[in-house]
Structures are given as structure tokens and as C-alpha cells.
Amino acid sequence: MSEQLPPLSTGGWFRWIWRQFTSMRTALILLFLLAIASIPGSIFPQRGTNPLKTQEWITGSPTWGPILDRLGFFEVYSSPWFSAIYLLLFISLIGCVLPRAAAHWRAMRTPPPAAPRNLARMQSHEILDPADVDVIDRADTFLRAHRWHVLRGESDGAVWLSAEKGYLRETGNLIFHLALILILIGVAIGGLFGWKGNVIVKTGDGFSDTLTQYDAWGGGRFADPAKLPPFTFTMTDFTVEFDRAVAQHGSPKLFKADVSYKANPDATAETTTIEVNHPLEVDGAKVFLVGHGYAPHFVVRDSTGEIVYDDTVVTLPQDGNFTSTGVIKLPDASPQLGFDVVFYPTLQPGSIVSGFPAPDFPATYLAAWTGDPGLDTGIPQSVYKLDKTHMTQIGRIPSLLPGQTWTLPNGAGSISLVGYERWASFQIAFDPGKEFALIAAVLALSGLMLSLFVRRRRVWLKVSTDPNGTTVVEIAGLNRAEGGDVSADIQIITEAVVGKETP
């Protein structure tokens, strides 16, 4: 059989491929591929959200790390294969939806097909009583008033109505699929024009929204770091409370940052409180409170007795009880000095970790180093790590309490713990596509509900004369969705046209 078919032309081949590609089967396979391709991103650390862990994973596994990295397993959602799947899915979707939209447009403009000859074969079928010729007019008026599409005709000596309703099902289906494309556009707008940055601010310190003030900043291709909204804020106070009950001991109960902010340098200052779930919205950007910690205050004198450091140092929490680490680098001191700092909000003597996240018994561990901290090499350095390549340790102190001073060995100077401040870390984000994406998502959900809950159904009414000369009025219906039922519609129509007397 197949050898008798004429060979396909190039255009024919293209059409065949396109038809296969836009078929439901292809969509199904692409959906499965999308689901499977998403999984690795939840198993392997992702560079975008967790760069540190990603690096650890790669260095920790010298064989597989680089291979998986090259295959994109640490940037799954921007990898070529993941992008390929969803782009193909969307092309297939467009290829499927557009012709259907055209067909639906035509269907809505066309009256329903003529009533079938034998209504008794339909899903629901009833003979109306009393048989009344005018029933057809009343039904016609009623159906049209209730937004049925109605076709009236005559054949084989019978007068019939053919009515259809529920076109919103397909409309909703099309809206849903088109709205998915809109969501993608919203995401793309955010990705191209949006940006986000992180900054740590100590109590009493301020922040102004310029690139240099950020600890980390990243933006889309068209985000201009020179044109950030010119707002400023100062963190006036930071409050944190931890759970002291036995259950969930030490978990945070509350943390909030009191700030005063200005939308631009000329605006009047306003005050507000930033909490988790309550970001500050200013000038199109949103300021989120994402973390907090301690910044112990030290005074350092070098061998000459001169104060070379009088400041707070940010320490980063390492565990749930806020055992926090940081460093002090003093390349200009004499001798050059460096300190490893561990801050315990609640020191447990004999232990190297804090016992509780609140500052019940604050203390610091210190290790002092002399030598060149390597700040002049030109290689960027972390402010939280001491490069000890050219340094030697001169001494350690397991616990220095506030008000205490540690005299360094070899007459290198001294260090005193004055007290501590709190710091809060903020994420500042700007996403110009999010409102668009939200509207698209709501549109998608609305379309989805229409497409699943609206029933497309047809009813027919027929007035004919049987061989004995008696008038017979029949009503029948068909629900085009599977497992559907039209009996409710039949009942309503029946009641409307024969159930009560028309005045």
C-alpha cells in the first residue's frame, strides 16, 4: 500500500514533520522530558543560588565535578539542554494552539450542525408531554436568551432546533496556553532588565543604592548599574528574639530592622520596620531582610602603642547557635597583624561552639598572626578569610570577654574587646517583569478553570408527526466532554418550555 503513495515533496516533508512536532504526542514527550530534566537541579547545588556549595562539590569530586559542570548540572535551569526542551515545548505549543484558535474562531461564528435524524440514539432523550407545536418557538426564545447558539430547520416533515453551548471551554483552553507564553515573557523581562544585590549593614550604619556599596550585585543584560534608583536608608535598630522553650530551642521568634529611608536625596526621611515577609518597597526596588549576625567591636594597638584599629568586624554565623567567624587584617600596623575571630553569643566554657544564639554570655576566641596578609598582590581577597601563606601565628586566646584586653606575645601589641553590634543583611531586588508575570499567571489559571469546568454540550428539539398523525415532541442532548451529563440542561429546558404555562 505504502509504495503506491506518491513521494513526498520537500514541502510535504516539512508539513509532515511540523504536524508530528505539533501533535499532542510530542507535547507529552516534551512534558516528560521537562519534568525529568528539572530533577538534577534539586539534587546538585546550583551556582546561581549557592555558589559556595557548588564550588565545594566540584573540588570535592575531581572526577565527576568537572564533567557534570561542563554538562551544566550546576546551572540546570540555564543549561542548553533544559532551555532546548522548554523552547521546543513552547514552539510545539504555539504550533498547536494557533491553528486551534483559528478553528475555534470559525466554530463560534458557525451555527451548530443540523439535528440528527434519530434523536433516540443520543445520551439523553425524552419525549415531551404535552405535545405542543408552539414548544419550538418557546424553546428557540429560551435557548437564545440563555446564550445557546441555535440553528432552526425543517427536514422530513419535522421542525427542529439544534443548539450548542460551552464554547468557553475551548476559549479557556486557548487562553491558558497563550498565557503560559505570556508568563515566559514576564520571566524574560525580569531576567533581562532586573537586578539584585546583597549588602550587610551594621546597626547605626547607612546604605545608599549605588553599585560600590553592594557586597554582591548581579543584573540582567539590559540592567544598568549606573542607573540604580537613588534611595538611601540607615538601620537605626535591630531586634531579634529566640525561642527559649524546649521545643525548637534557639529557633528565631522574631527579627526586624528599624530603618529610616529616603526615596531620593531630596526626599524627606521616613521610618519603617523591615521584617521577613515585610520588605520595604522604595522607588520600584524591594529591600528584604535576609539574615543577621554579630559584629564584635575591637580596639587594636600595635607594638608602638598606637591605636591601629577601632571598629566593629562583621562575623558570619556558622551554625544555628550563631558561632560566628570573621577576620581582622591590619597590613599597616607595625608589625603587620592579622586576627582570626570567632564570636560566641553564649560561650560554653570548654566547647568550641556557642550554646545559644542570643548574647547571654558573649565572648571571642582569637588567633593572632604576624606577616604580610597579601592585600597588595592585586588578587581579590575575601574579607572573611585571612591569607596565611606569608603569616605566622604568634598566639591564641580561647575566650576574651567584653572589657578584657589580651596583650599579644612578642610585644606585638594588644587587642581589647569593647562590645558588639548587630548587623543585618539585606537583599535588594528589582524585577520589572513580575507584575506582568502575575497577570499572565492569573489569566492562565482563569483559562484553565474554564477549560476544565465548562462543559461543551448540544441539545436538540424536534417536533414531528408519527404515522398515526399524533404530534411528537422530542428533546435530546449530548455532552461532548467525557463522562459528562446533559440531563440537568434537558431538565431546565423542559421545565422552561412545557413545565409552566406561558401567559
Partner 1 sequence: MTPAELAQASNSAIYASMLVLTLAMVFFAFSFAAGRRKPAVASSTEVIESEGGTAVITRTEVIDPVIPGRRSANIAMSLTWLGTGFLLLGVVLRGLWAGRVPWGNMYEFSITAALGILVVFLGFSVKRDVRWLGIFIVIPALLTLGLAVTVLYTEAAQLVPALKSYWLVIHVSAAIICSGAFTLAAAVSALALLRGHAERKADGAEVTGLTARMPSQERLQVMANRIIAFTFPLWTFAVIAGAIWAENAWGRYWGWDPKETWAFITWVVFAAYLHARSTVGWRGNRASWIAIIGWSTFLANYFGVNLFINSLHSYSGV
By CB under 8 A, residue 245 contacts partner 1: yes
Q: How far apart are CA 64 and CA 47, in angstroms?
A: 16
By CB under 8 A, residue 286 contacts partner 1: yes
Closest CA to 333 of 372, 297, 387, 382: 372
Among 2, 10, 42, 468, binds partner 1 (CB under 8 A): 42
Q: Which is nearer to partner 1, 42 or 470 (CB)?
A: 42
Q: Which of these ranges, 115-123, 320-328, 414-422, 427-435, lies near partner 1 under the rule CB under 8 A?
A: 427-435
Grid cell for residue 466: 408519527
Q: Strand 216-219 to strand 232-242: parallel, antiparallel, or no bridges (unpaired)?
A: unpaired
By CB under 8 A, residue 452 contacts partner 1: yes
By CB under 8 A, residue 288 contacts partner 1: yes
Among 126, 132, 205, 243, binds partner 1 (CB under 8 A): 243
Residue 226 CB, nearest distance to partner 1 (Å)? 22
Q: How far apart are CA 322 and CA 293, in angstroms?
A: 7
Say which residue the cell 546538585 belongs to. Answer: 44
Q: Interior CA angle at 398 toward 393 and 399, to 5°? A: 130
Grid cell for residue 241: 528574639
Q: Strand 149-155 to strand 195-202: parallel, antiparallel, or no bridges (unpaired)?
A: unpaired
Helix (H) or strand (E) holding 248: none
Q: Kindly report the length of the chain.
A: 503
Among 8, 31, 91, 352, binds partner 1 (CB under 8 A): 31
Residue 94 CB coordination number (10 Å): 14
By CB under 8 A, residue 431 contacts partner 1: yes
Q: Are 443 and 157 in contact (CB under 8 A)?
A: no
Q: Which of these ranges, 200-208, 327-335, 346-354, 426-434, lies near partner 1 under the rule CB under 8 A?
A: 426-434
Among 8, 15, 17, 35, binds partner 1 (CB under 8 A): 35
Among 5, 9, 10, 24, binds partner 1 (CB under 8 A): 24
Site string for partner 1, 157-196 (x = CB under 8 A): ------------------------------x--------x
User: Which amino acid is located at 15 in the chain?
Assistant: R
Residue 425 CB, nearest distance to partner 1 (Å)? 12
Q: Is 411 left (phi over 0), alpha (psi -120 to 50) or beta?
A: left
Helix (H) or strand (E) holding 241: strand 232-242
Residue 432 CB, nearest distance to partner 1 (Å)? 13
Residues found near partner 1 in the complex (CB under 8 A): 24-25, 27-28, 31-32, 34-35, 38-39, 41-43, 46, 48-49, 76-77, 187, 196, 243, 245-248, 251-255, 275-277, 279, 286, 288, 290, 427-429, 431, 434, 437-438, 441-442, 444-445, 448-449, 452-453, 482-483
